[in-house]
Amino acid sequence: MPTHFGFLIDECFDTKSCATLELLPLLLPVRNKKNINAADFIYCAKEESASITDVLKESKGRGPFILHIEDNFHIIADCQSFCRSTNSSEALLNLFACIYVFNIAYNKEALNSYLFLQEYILGKADSKTGNAAIKLFAKNLEKVK
C-alpha cells in the first residue's frame, strides 16, 4: 500500500476525533445557562482566516480549551496559547496536561464530557463521583461498538 494512504487514514481519524470533541458535550449535557455552547469549553474550531489574537481576546473567563485553526491545535488558557499540536490526539493530551499542571477545575459547562474523557479515554476514574449519566452513556456506546 502506498504511503500516502497512511496520511489519509490519519487525516480521517483526526477529522472524526475533532467531530467527537465537538459533539461529546452535546451528548453528555450539564445544566447550564441559556445560550452557552458546552462544546466551546473543550474544543473550538475556527475558519482558516481566523486570528488567534482575536480568539484570545474572546476567551476571557473561559477555562482551558483546544482551539483548532487550519492544521494547528492550540491549547488556550488564561487568554494565552500555551502550546501547539498538529493533531487532535496530542492536543487532547496537552489540554489535560494543562488542566492538571495548573490545577484547574473542569469547566462546569462541560463537566460530564471531561469526566468521560478522563475515565474512558485516559483510564483514570474519578473516585469522588460516580456519575450515572456517564456510566449510562459508556454502556450505550459499548452496545453500538
Whole-number Å distance between alpha carbons of 13 and 87: 10
Q: Report residue 127's pLDDT band, with 50, 70 and 90 as the boundaries.
A: low
Closest by alpha carbon to 75, among 53, 92, 100, 57? 92
Q: Is the pLDDT of residue 97 over 70?
A: yes
Q: Does pLDDT of 35 surpass 60?
A: yes
Is the model's pLDDT at 5 over the cut of 60? no
Quote the pTM value: 0.79
29, pLDDT greater than 50: yes
| Residue owning grid cell 456510566 | 135
Residues in CB range of 127: below 8 A, 6 or more apart: none
**Averaged pLDDT for residues 90-110:** 91
Q: Look at residue 1 and tell me whether its pLDDT is greater than 70.
A: no
